[in-house]
Structure 1
């Protein structure tokens, strides 16, 4: 039997090898409307107080809180966005709208619900203390405050805050561009009829979707024939266009598996085998200073290895510091068998019942059965050295999405 010349790494060793070899991409300035989901690369300080003037938090009347007059003359109305030359003195009030600047002389706002106004005179059913329903200067932010730190993930709230402060652009880590190519003379693109022995290419579509979901920018190169010169040319073209390259297929031990020899010729292979199922022949290399992942051709193997190694790599390049999914201990709902010579990652559904996490796998776990990933929200990590697990046994689960509450 022909043996691979590459040492067998554990999944943990492979993960460390990948993330320790990479650095974040150089930051770039981005309009805030295009920065959703990106990681901030600079400190953001408030340039001014927010709000910059005392304003009303309610629709009502701007008053002098200490004035105990039985009724008050309404001098006028202050709208949001307009400032009139009003001055509130004893026995008078200003009708005011939410967000409007508090007029000079006033120090509180009585909500309209506690008022009775008739013919320019208002009476109140309740009085409020100094500062009531008034947003003071700097309530949200004071000039010079550190508002956002490097490493912050920009979500809707953060982008809204940046807009509030007048920031139209921010320094962020860019979304990594990922070139994706499939190898194999048996592959046919969508829309083409299948000849005997051919199958449709699903991996480039699934991988592109996964890269986009992680936060990268997929660049699909399509299907490359099993010809060394064409594969080499496609690899170099992908690296010219992208920050990372994924190949699918061609990494096993067959005579037409050409990816590893080409990567050895062009760069450095860091590992060529992982003691895991599925995804044993997963390969990681550096070519011209950029990461290249040689993924297996089986669809499930390809996606599992992308989850375990490509996703952390892409996140590190995008400036994230949390690289892996959350993990938790789950109780098996049924017995499971697996090959004890490798760590196995079985597709599973994790549910919560009475505060405890339970898991069941998705059925047949063969590498070519893409349906085993459909509906799965977790991967069960079954360690090597144990051939079977019984219902009630506890194992580790990697959560892909939130567990279901039953």
Structure 2
């Protein structure tokens, strides 16, 4: 079975481009050109150089010894939190902005939830001298104030989304409206592995650097390129698809994606898409999403601004349905405790998104000797207020 996109833009039953007629020229221009652009030798050379000298890649694969002792396995953390801007999002932002430049676009728009994708986009726009507009839910603007300040310092315009739940879904809607109104000079950077084809494939390719590095780093440390388990948090799913990408065809590697259960899967305040969702269309692709019986999108909830998305990317939907990867969930409480535990054991404050992946370690049982890689997708600076309030620090 193939776990990658086919020539029609589908992963099994999922994917495609379900878009209004007015967006068709923009998406079609991308679809026709993206592979040729990113496979060009000069593109690859420049992209790799920026990842090395600007982002600081390769990100370390860190053996978390005290965490390993606690759980009885050899646990490695893929340190995406050490990238410039503090998360994995910069990998995709650089790649897509380079594609946009080669398509002659001078204006970049983006949506953001936790703010990390917005910061990454604003950062690369500053680097390349491009106009940048970031749409962000009004609620997220309040809970991620440091990231909003960073974007503004970089010269980006931050536009609040004031409709619906005032979070990521609504920011995405606003960004798509902007793109419809400005089709010629504007490129819309989607920050997650969602949206119409070719976005999920493009994002996955740019983020696949995570698992590409992990393979040779594992070989250096263990003598073997694969791990027994690979874990990542998943909202829309960009860090997870990057972490899984180069292990998809190694069937002996167990892939575990951890969604946000919020206050509990059945609480009505959750973002556990694979448990609560059904197949349908969201933001331009067929996937699995949380919806009412008559097809209205259900508002998700998570303490983590980056995971409260009502769907998952189409490649994840395919991995879930084909059972190639396990999709599980962690509650707010479980994630917060896991974040504090890592901080106390290893001196690393993780983003609350990443803490969801760490939380699943509590539910695993190891015989001893297993190798586990957890994608530490971002650092916790942006979440300090939430941690402080939660723990009364």
Higher fraction of strand? 1
Shared fold per TM-score greater than 0.5 = no
Structure (1 or 2) with the larger CA radius of gyration? 1
Question: Shorter-chain TM-score category?
Answer: under 0.3
Higher fraction of helix? 2
Q: Which has the higher contact order (CA 8 A, sep 6+)?
A: 2
TM-score (norm. length: structure 2) = 0.26
